Structure 1
Amino acid sequence: MEEIRNLKFSEWPMFNRVMEDDPDVCRRLLEVILDEPVERVENLTTERALEPHLGARGIRMDVLMRAGGKVYDVEMQASPARKLGRRMRYCQATMDTRELKKGRDYDALPDSFIVFICMRDEIGAGLPIYHLNMRCDESEDIAVDHGFQWIVLNASAWDKASAGSLRSLLQYVANGKADGDELVREIDSLVASANADAIWRARGVAMLTYVDEARIQTRIACKEAREEGLAEGRAEGEERLGALVARLLAEGRSDDAAAAAVDAECRQELFSEFGL
């Protein structure tokens, strides 16, 4: 029997497992990224599927966390993130819609943070970290009290970060090398513990395999559709099918996930079931 490989921290099943197993590690990871204190975690969920309203496109969030009245969405992005800015915009809109109840004033919206930890440079400027904030073109002195922050990490540029915990974290995401940083060593220990669970490790590898197969089948389907002038777009199709497969696997429906990757009729039925 072929040996099941170990999962890396940069792969979403492992990332979600580590964050869920020790929410305090997630809190400290955010402190390193944000460079500010994060209060005790009040609620943390992984693989959270959200839909802004019936019939709207749903999204799957890797780690959604609440601490000190603030909301944090942390995404591990190992594959290329096309249309990242618009994706973050939709994540923000979906989070805000969920947070602001009918009849409440806008000041009831909590401060929120969206963090994408990327293996590649999705912005293209060669920086290890990007803070993407709204500003006034006419005057940089004008502050816009929107209450949210978007941050994108580029693990491939870890060696350009200043010495410290952020550099250590980016290096670990990039190549799995755990240096003397305390947080990184704790994360590496949790990764080793999760990989020691052979049943879970096999399921995690299977989930990644299903998603990869789904992407391949989606690319084929999109190519055929483009030839007929009916394509919704490769990137959107991949994300949609990836979200479907992830939700099916999270519910233990591996057979349906496998079928969705290769059977167009079954795939459409499942899209309808989950409102994707």
Structure 2
Amino acid sequence: MTAEIIEWVDADGGVTVLDADWPAQGRFMPPITVEQIGVPRTPGGVLLDARHGVREMLISFWIIGTDEADLRVKLRDIVRKLNPAKGPGYLRATAPDGVVRQIQCINVDGVQIQEELGESSGYAAQKIAAQFKAYNPYWQDVSAISPPEWSTGVTPTFFPIFPIRLTSSEIAVDGTIDNAGDVEAWPVWTITGPGSGIVLRNLSTGEYLSFPDVVMGEGQTLYIDTRPGVKTVTLDTNSVGTNMFGAMYAGSSLWPLVPGSNAIRLEMAGITVGTSKLAVSYTQQYLTP
């Protein structure tokens, strides 16, 4: 049986394998935040909302040196790599079944070191307990899913957006995107002009994105980033971006891909066959590593 591998990916992109040990906590089901109200003269209460809260994880691991001097060098190094002032990093787990997932987090409690000879400390070995906080409580795939770009007038070869109904003046794409994660995934859409009257629908949820007054010329690209903490809409012309967030129709939402099958429809008029293009990428998210 293959042992689990735990790594720390620091803000600079450096990867450090952690010699993980017990105890550990918080890595699996994220905490639940429940909102409720009481009803006068009625037993119990009324549930208003239940959602996943900020996740905290305790990870214990060993630092092993060849001697006392080498141990000190390695301790200094791991403290630098875990410094939250550098920005968030990732805990990355390779499970015994080979699945690799990571979660963005920061070290929030320094490194707890008990400097006492015994079970957690030696002349050339030191056990560390580090507390991490993940504001997005979900583990994610290491790489986003990015199907090949689709060009109008060319039969698409990628799953899952298919089939295509196409005329010289408009495009209607009906198909499905399968989100195999445990929770929603937030797509990044790239639409290359020419084109106008853009409507991007999730038929499974009834949500849509509409830009009725946006007209893209050849070479212009509309970037729609729905990810939490980003949520931008930009029209790029010759590498110069213009904020188009205000061009969204009032009923629009930057909708996610829900778990399971999502029926997707793109509508766009005024295209040029072979030039107008659509691309999407999304990162699946999970409750557990």
Q: TM-score range by the shorter chain?
A: under 0.3
- Structure with more helix by fraction: 1
Instruction: Give the TM-score normalised by structure 2.
Output: 0.21
- Structure with more strand by fraction: 2
Larger Cα Rg: Structure 1 or Structure 2?
A: 2
Comparing both chains, which one has the higher relative contact order based on Cα–Cα distances under 8 Å and sequence gaps of 6 or more? Answer: 2
